[in-house]
Amino acid sequence: MGEAALRLERRGGVVRCTLDRPPLNLLEPGLIAALRSTFAALAADPAVRVAIVTGAGRAFTAGMDVRVLRDLDVAGATTLITALHDAIDAVHRAPFPVIAAVNGACLGAGFELALACDLRVASAGAIFGLPEVRVGVPSVIQAALLPPLIGPGRAAELLLTGATIGAEQALAWGLLNRVVEREGLDEAVDAFVTTIVACAPNAVRLQKELIVRWRESDLPSAGRAGIPAFASAYATSEPREGAAAFLEKRPPRFGAPR
């Protein structure tokens, strides 16, 4: 079930991953395993430039299938949440940018999946929330990114009440990069993709690695981490070509990623 419910489309270095369990694309063990294995495989492919995660139909994903949660015991809960952590972490640590194209409801573990992405574009009708406390469990995993992203007060409001917010409020809080009408979602995502693939591919990967490290480091350590990253860029021809193109007022001609 899991493999069939995660649909992949690839155009060159751009991969689109669609959660395909309509109507709500609920997460269950098979789909969770497919998400992890897919991103593990993509991470090992140096030709991948950017990935898009979205949902089929009217939802991004409304979160975990409550029928799966209902019958768990402590051991089963540990197994499930560990698998979910590993899948979402594979998205978070992907060595290339990941864009969430949020086409509808984005709730619970689905919201955490979106938080694991680097950029988030949503349709105007999308809703966001972490309703776990309403069904007897806490929000975990990427919910830990909420306080530094939107502030402790707003994070507490979402986490402790299980409330949902609309796309415009999510944009105002800094959860989203863009909000567009549903029919313009693909175009808005493609604009980000076009901009990313025009950049130096190895430099983008170095930048993505730094972004992840910055989230997990104190400020002095985060600053120092940039020194070897900057220097290692010169192991490729990208800085020379990028500078030459700028000075010659022409588009850069970057090669394939290494």
pLDDT at 255: 80
Catalytic residues: 112, 132
The Cα–Cα gap between 131 and 208 comes to: 30
Structure tokens at 24: 């709500």
Q: Where are the alpha helices (DSSP H) in the chain?
A: 29-43, 66-70, 74-92, 109-116, 146-150, 152-161, 167-172, 185-197, 201-215, 219-232, 238-247
Q: What mean pLDDT is reported for the chain?
A: 94
Q: Angle 29-43/74-92 helices, nearest 10 degrees?
A: 30
Nearest CA-CA partner of 255 in 97, 98, 16, 46? 46
pTM: 0.94
Asked whether the predicted pLDDT for residue 3 surpasses 70, the reply is: no
- Look up tokens 């600053």; give the residue: 223
> Which of the four pLDDT bands, split at 50, 70 and 90, describes residue 47?
very high
Structure tokens at 139: 């929000």
Is the CB of residue 133 less than 8 Å from the CB of residue 162? yes
The Cα–Cα gap between 38 and 220 comes to: 34
Residue 48 makes CB contacts below 8 A (sequence gap 6+) with: 13, 15, 42, 96
Asked whether the predicted pLDDT for residue 186 surpasses 90, the reply is: yes
For residue range 119-159, what is the model confidence (pLDDT) as tens digits? 999 999 999 999 999 999 999 989 999 999 999 999 999 99
Structure tokens at 136: 């007897």
